Amino acid sequence: MQLIVFAVGRMKKGPERELTGRYADRLDKAGPAVGLTWGGVTEIAESRAATGEQRKTEEAGPCLALGAERGTALIALDETGKSLTSNDFATRLSDMRDHGTRRLVLAIGGPDGHAPAVRDRADLTLSLGRMTWPHQIVRILLAEQLYRAVTILSGHPYHRS
């Protein structure tokens, strides 16, 4: 199953990008052994629309288009979503993979969050905590958890339960 991160907001050069890249590289190397491949990041600029609802709607279009392909699942990251342990997250990924999901899009919304259409389409709304995080930090956390999921599924000692 191919893993793709969709993100509203551009990641600039710097330590956040480097750390995200480090986990993505680890995922890219270790993932194929457990049937998970790294598909990269699709990022769009934040909308400049006048209202939050308009911005969310504009930002939703490319996300929904990416998730429209047959065999694609969508996880929307949102503070109101379900909080999972790392082991539970790894299990969710393996269940999706084992039930024929070919591609998984993990969507990081903009400052206004996700449009209702994205949350409605999502197979899972996932929370990394009830606090609001900048998208750069969310990318780091998500990349690390994807790599951690791969190590859990492969029995690697990186994760200690």
List the binding residues for S-adenosyl-L-methionine.
Answer: 77, 109, 128-133
Q: Beta partners for 124?
A: 75
- pTM higher than the cut 0.85: yes
What CATH number does the domain containing 93 carry?
3.40.1280.10
User: What's the structural domain count of the chain?
Assistant: 1
Q: Beta partners for 144?
A: none
Supply the range of the domain harboring residue 39.
2-116+125-154
List the binding residues.
Answer: 77, 109, 128-133
In a domain, 159, yes or no: no
Buried b (16+ CB within 10 A) or exposed e, 2-41: bbbbbbbbebeeeebeebbbebbebbbebbeebebebeeb
**Residue 156 pLDDT greater than 90, yes or no:** no
Distance separating alpha carbons of residues 82 and 123, to the nearest angstrom: 12
In a domain, 47, yes or no: yes
**Residue 70 pLDDT greater than 90, yes or no:** yes
Three-state secondary structure call for residue 99: coil
**Residue 149 pLDDT greater than 80, yes or no:** yes
In a domain, 160, yes or no: no
In a domain, 161, yes or no: no
In a domain, 108, yes or no: yes
